[in-house]
Structures are given as C-alpha cells and as structure tokens.
A and B are shown apart, each in its own frame.
Chain A
C-alpha cells in the first residue's frame, strides 16, 4: 500500500468544513479505492431481479474494481472480481449472461459461477508439448471473491472479511425504510447511465443534501411536490453514513421565507398543461411521497411519488463518475400504476424535471474548486452535528457522510 495521503488539517468546528482537496487529490482517490471500496464497507452490486434465474450473471463495479455477481445453479449469490487469473483481462465483457461457465476470451480460461477457475485451455499442452507445469493448481488461482449478502432484493458485496454482516451494517431504520419501497416482487423497468463531470463524493453529498432540493429544483417546488415547508425530516444513522430524507404530500402551505426571498422556487402561476405526470398514488399508504435513502458510501434508493429506482455511484477517476439508475415497479402493478411509473420517470434520471440539475452541479463545484487548495466548503445548516432532524433545511446528513468517510479513511 502506498504512503497515506496528506490531508491538510480538517478545519472546524465539528464537521462543518470540507477541504476542497477531497474532490481533487489523486492520492486521496487512490487511497479511497483501497480503504473504502476494497475496505470495511458493503457495496451495492445489483438487484436480485437482475439475476432472475439460476446461472445468471451480471457485471458491476465496486469502486473502480470490475466485479461479476452471479446466481449459481442452486440459486445462491456469489461475487468475484471480473479479472482473469491468467493475464488480468476482463473475464466477462458486456452486461452479463447465463450458463454454467464464464470464459475469458483471451486464452479461454473458464470459471464456474462461484469464481473458481475450472478450465485452462491446453493445460496438458498440444501433442505432449507445452502446457502448464505439473504442479499448477487451479484451486490456487482465481479472482478474489467478495462476501455477498442481500436485503429486500438488493445484492451487496464486500472485500472485507471483518466488516459486520449486511443487516448490522444497514441498521434497523435503513432496513425498515428499504423494506417500505422494496416489499414485493420487483419488475425491472430499465436502466439509465449518466456520466458526471465530478468526483463521486459530490454526487453523494448532493443526494444527502435536502437543503438544495427546493432551491435548485424549481420544477419540484413550483408544483408543491417538495417544499421545505412540507412535513418531513432527515434521519441519520449512528455511523453518519446512511440517511433517509422524506416528506409527506399535500401538507404544504405558502411560506413567507420563500416569498420574502423572491426565490425562483416560488411561482404559483405556473400550471402544467397535462398534470397526469404529478398525480401520484399513495401506494404505500403512509402519505410519504418522497423518500431518498443512501447507504454509505455509494448506494441510493429513491421514491419520488411512484417513480422508484435505485442508483449506483461508480467512481471513474478523481473527476469522473458514472451514475447508474435502475427503475423498477412491482410484479403486481395494475396497468394504471405501471403507466404512471413510466410517466413519473420524467421527473428523475438524466433528463428528469427534478434531477437534471444534479447531473451538473457537482461539476460546478469541481470546476469552482480549482485553485482552492487550503480552502474549505461550509456545511453548517442545522448546526454542527449529525443527529436526525425534523424539517429539511439542514445539512446534517452531509456532515454524517464526512463523519463516516473520515472514520473509514482514517483521516
């Protein structure tokens, strides 16, 4: 392992300052791959619904590391690095497949669905010439394996032998909130892929930041789908790393703080020509129309009315991030609800009425942070702590992220 990166003293008070180097320092980025992505944390791999049958596999990533996640002939889940034990080529190109063996195209070494090396082409040579030496033991060569566990149809993996089990990692509050939006057999609706021009942490912070939602996303606020005056809150778990922000529909009242500021978010004259898009159904029976949840470090679960999705944040370099959206409904959706989900998908994703801005703001910070060594951003809304709070004019869950990040990074 390389030398620990040098981070300037983290200014206080508490967790309210974030040095801009954390988004731009290549040494820190490398250290994250080792300490966080290959370290003691659980990482989202895919939905179980994406491995529908025994013998299915899919490619995914944990940090930058390419990974294959599979369901073996007995239905058990496995994950291992997508890297051939021979020369390091990707074993599986593309999205995935189905069968008993996965074969590397380069020299045709092949693996079973647990990631065990099973076949070495020409192992015994050709006509008695060449081949692998006598003592070559296939059992001692293979991609590194991950521990795998699932909760509510979400498959997670970790390279760490030490981190607590997935259910303990998630904790009771997050488990219950995930069960709320993943309680029935899932039907996949599709995927969107987006490249963000910023460090991965800027996107995760953006998701955790409930303060920006009604200020940046004018569409949302204009139709009273989400205003800070709605009933809602932000829950942060003890580690700081996981959070849920939520709000309840139709509890909004005109709010003086918006009107006084002349904020963009206040435009009552704006009406949709076709409002079917925003007429959600209270499908979970609790009136909660928005639930945004993160599992540290890079998993997001989203309920925006009836638009349900999970998002996976994949770092692709210190200033590039891939964002994968997987949309879902349920097997028992009636035709009306199935159509409503497709209409409401307009609100989210790379072109979403209330999400397109999030694709760009991380890049604004990334660009703004150029030449800002020694300076720090301010995250002081709602105080200096990381406790759960009512209302959403707070950055408590952003501070929580940094609490968890600093703990795992040892910085």
Chain B
C-alpha cells in the first residue's frame, strides 16, 4: 500500500528535517502525548539491558529534554545532517516501521564526522503520530557528548 509507505517515509523525513533545521519544537509535534521514546545502544538492546542514553516516558518529558537543551545545557554549537533509508513497514495494527539512518555532525568550526548510524524502530497511532520509538545506534561509542536527539 504505497499510501502508507509514503506517509511513514514522509514522517521520518519530517522527523529528521526538524532536527537538522533546529526546529525541535516542531519535532515534538510528531509524537503522541503518551509516547515512549528512547535512544539506546545496540549492545544493550541486544543483551536485553534496559538502560537508555535518552529516555522519555511521555511527550512532556521529551519537551523537558528540548527545554533543557534550549535553556540549561551547555554544548558547542553543532548541527546534524540526517540521511534516512526507506522505511520497512509492518502494517499492523498498529502500524510500525524500521528505517536505517546516518547522522553527520557538523561542529561550529566546520569539523564534520559520521556521528551515528543505526535504525529507527517506531510504532504509530491512528493519526500516524509516534507512539513508541527506539533509536538503536550501532556506533558503540558516542563521541564527546550527545546533545541533540538522533
């Protein structure tokens, strides 16, 4: 069903562009109120270990993360550039999908690196908002710090 495929690919594209454009407030709008969002190392996911680098139980916590990045945390100016592969769909219900990603990080002075690669595992509600999402990163080590979401 190409309509659903397009819709999910479009959602991941909006997800990535919102981060890359530094529109984290728009990024929040892609999530359901009662979402769960995690960024987790593949090492832990595969071992069944529950700890995450970022974990939000509900959009309010995700909003707190964005607020902290805006107002409390200190990090050198940087931006990301995402490239996301075509989503592999499970029509459900609920609709869920996996998609591979690369994130390049570009620092203020121009240094660029392949900061992270991994996959999005997401499940959606009827309105196609993100209900459950785990970013599983393959790069075992995080360089310096992770400020912006992947």
- How would residues 48 to 81 of chain B score, 1 for a CB under 8 Å from any chain A CB and 0 otherwise? 0111111111101101110110011111100000
Question: Can you name the residue of chain B whose Cβ is closest to the Cβ of A274?
Answer: B60
User: A276 — which chain B residues lie within 8 A by C-beta?
Assistant: 57, 61
Q: A357-B74, A360-B145 are in contact. Are A273 and B60 (CB under 8 A)?
A: yes
User: B61 — which chain A residues lie within 8 A by C-beta?
Assistant: 273-274, 276-277, 343, 346
Q: Let me know if A19 is at the binding interface, CB within 8 A.
A: no
Asked if A218 and B39 sit within 8 Å, CB to CB, the answer is no
Q: Let me know if B123 is at the binding interface, CB within 8 A.
A: no
Asked if B147 and A356 sit within 8 Å, CB to CB, the answer is yes
Which one of A64-72, A74-82, A159-167, A190-198 is at the B interface? A190-198
Chain B nearest CB: distance from A336 CB in Å? 13
Q: Let me know if A235 is at the binding interface, CB within 8 A.
A: no
Asked if B72 and A353 sit within 8 Å, CB to CB, the answer is yes
Asked if B51 and A192 sit within 8 Å, CB to CB, the answer is yes
User: B145 — which chain A residues lie within 8 A by C-beta?
Assistant: 194, 350-351, 356-357, 359-360
Tell me, in angstroms, the Cα distance from A189 to B140 when the chains sit together: 16
Q: Let me know if B114 is at the binding interface, CB within 8 A.
A: no
Chain B nearest CB: distance from A359 CB in Å? 4
User: A272 — which chain B residues lie within 8 A by C-beta?
Assistant: 64, 67
Q: Let me know if A319 is at the binding interface, CB within 8 A.
A: no
Chain A nearest CB: distance from B98 CB in Å? 21
Chain B nearest CB: distance from A289 CB in Å? 19
Tell me, in angstroms, the Cα distance from A270 to B44 when the chains sit together: 33
Tell me, in angstroms, the Cα distance from A189 to B68 when the chains sit together: 25
- How would residues 166 to 201 of chain A score, 1 for a CB under 8 Å from any chain B CB and 0 otherwise? 000000000000000000000011111111110000
Asked if A196 and B144 sit within 8 Å, CB to CB, the answer is yes
Asked if A277 and B64 sit within 8 Å, CB to CB, the answer is yes
Dominant SS among interface residues on chain A:
mixed
Asked if A267 and B71 sit within 8 Å, CB to CB, the answer is yes
Q: Let me know if B19 is at the binding interface, CB within 8 A.
A: no
Contact check: which of A188, A343, A357 meets B57 at CB < 8 Å? A343
Q: Let me know if A349 is at the binding interface, CB within 8 A.
A: yes
Q: A192-B41, A195-B141, A196-B144 are in contact. Are A357 and B55 (CB under 8 A)?
A: no
Chain A nearest CB: distance from B103 CB in Å? 14
Chain B nearest CB: distance from A153 CB in Å? 17
User: B50 — which chain A residues lie within 8 A by C-beta?
Assistant: 189-190, 342
Question: Can you name the residue of chain A whose Cβ is closest to the Cβ of B39?
Answer: A351
Tell me, in angstroms, the Cα distance from A234 to B56 when the chains sit together: 33
Q: Let me know if A41 is at the binding interface, CB within 8 A.
A: no
Q: Let me know if B4 is at the binding interface, CB within 8 A.
A: no
Chain B nearest CB: distance from A33 CB in Å? 21
Q: Let me know if B25 is at the binding interface, CB within 8 A.
A: no
Q: Let me know if A322 is at the binding interface, CB within 8 A.
A: yes
Question: Can you name the residue of chain B whose Cβ is closest to the Cβ of A350?
Answer: B142
Asked if A357 and B73 sit within 8 Å, CB to CB, the answer is yes
Asked if B64 and A274 sit within 8 Å, CB to CB, the answer is yes
- Within A243-300, which residues are at the interface with B (CB < 8 Å)? 267, 270, 272-274, 276-277
What are 10 A-B pairs at a CB distance below 8 A? A190-B41, A190-B44, A190-B51, A192-B41, A193-B140, A196-B144, A197-B144, A273-B67, A351-B54, A363-B144
